[in-house]
Amino acid sequence: METLDPSALGIEMPHPDHEQHLCFLRNVGQLTKNLEGYKKLVKDPKFVCTMCGRAAASEKNVCVGEAL
């Protein structure tokens, strides 16, 4: 997936690596722009984000992950 530059978008990052997190990706429109890439991140989920409730295969893609 293409890497986004959050500062160029004027988005303040709440914590490191937030540009990898599903909350951020959805907020910047990746859900609709790159649905196939997004689907790979949420396929076969193992972790749920305790901040927004999204689920991801990797803990790297949620803010505060809790194992499912």
- Give the residues lining the site for Zn ion (CB under 5 A): 18, 21, 23, 49, 51-52, 63
* Minimum gap (Å) between residue 43 Cβ and Zn ion: 17
CA–CA distance, 13 with 32 (Å, rounded to integer): 21
* Minimum gap (Å) between residue 30 Cβ and Zn ion: 13
* Minimum gap (Å) between residue 58 Cβ and Zn ion: 13
**C-alpha angle 50-16-28 in degrees, rounded to nearest 5:** 75
Specify the residue, 15 or 36, whose C-beta has the smaller distance to Zn ion: 15
Question: Max alpha carbon distance in the chain (Å)?
Answer: 34
